[in-house]
Amino acid sequence: MITITARAGYDGIELWMMEIDAYLASGKSLQSLKKELDDAGIEAVNAIGFATWMAQDQEKSKKGFAQIEKEMNQLAAIGCKRIAAPAIGAEAPVDLFEAGEKYAQLLELGRKTGCMPQLEFWGAFPPFYQLGQALAVAAMANDADARLLPDIYHLFRGGSGFDGLKLLSGDAVEVFHMNDFPGTLARTEQEDKHRVYPGDGVGPLAEVAQTLKNMGGNKILSLELFNPSLYAMDADVVARTGLEKMKQFF
């Protein structure tokens, strides 16, 4: 995948922790992974993990913190400075004050390890699905390093909409997941598999692009699609097409 990313013309890649685990289990090392990235001229800009740090159950939360600290150290070793921090393990309703305290602890771990957690919300995940919830948790952490990780599909699917992005400062978002959604299904019926290329759906991509530009600061735009029809296609074609589609708006 690193080679495909480089061939398509991307600057960076988001790695998945489960794939890094499989890579290491095959007998390879973090050093060899870093070399592959360096040789390809590709930066590991973020990673997707699933640690249960926000769980209300204290034992689950403790294990989640231990897991994400280990992952942060691994990522720092390959030069990756960010990790997604979704609310895995949380149950509705989430106490936003408590979640804010936990996110503050997570940010301390990020500074300790050199890999910072990007607070992520999922539109179809009942405990933590709304931009407003993520904004509240980030604000309650009261930390200058707090960051949100929005996603076109999740903003739509959770009913957040797109105007709330205008409340964010340029520093509040470093990574933004790019995709689109079709207009043929009701919002609450849509799933990850329905995501389409940016511009191929009915999302207000031009408006979002302008909002991000007005926001200021540097943004890493990461294509994130889970559409089975794209899985069936040649990966090089999908990667190149995705980059071209994003460049319509940026």
Query: What is residue 180's predicted lDDT score, i.e. its pLDDT?
Result: 98
Give the whole-angstrom CA distance, residue 55 versus residue 94: 9
pLDDT (tens digit per residue) in 117-158: 999 999 999 999 999 999 999 999 999 999 999 999 999 999
pLDDT averaged over the chain? 98
Q: Distance between CA 123 and CA 157 in Å, rounded? A: 5
Compute the radius of gyration of the chain from its Cα atoms: 18
Domains and their CATH numbers in the chain: 2-246 (3.20.20.150)
Confidence of residue 207 (pLDDT cuts 50, 70, 90): very high
Q: Find residue 176's DSSP bridge partners.
A: 221
Helix (H) / strand (E) element for 169: namely none
| φ/ψ of residue 173, rounded to 5 | -130, 120
pLDDT category at 72 given cuts 50, 70, 90 is very high
The 10 Å Cβ neighbour count of residue 159 is 13
Q: What is the pLDDT of residue 70?
A: 98
Per-residue b or e along 175-197, where b marks 16 or more CB atoms closer than 10 Å to that residue's CB: bbbbbbbeeeeeeeebebebbbb
- For the stretch 94-105, pLDDT in tens is 999 999 999 999
Q: Are 165 and 204 in contact (CB under 8 A)?
A: no
Question: E-strand spans in 36-104?
Answer: 43-48, 82-85
Is the full-model pTM beyond 0.85?
A: yes
pLDDT, residue 37, reads 98
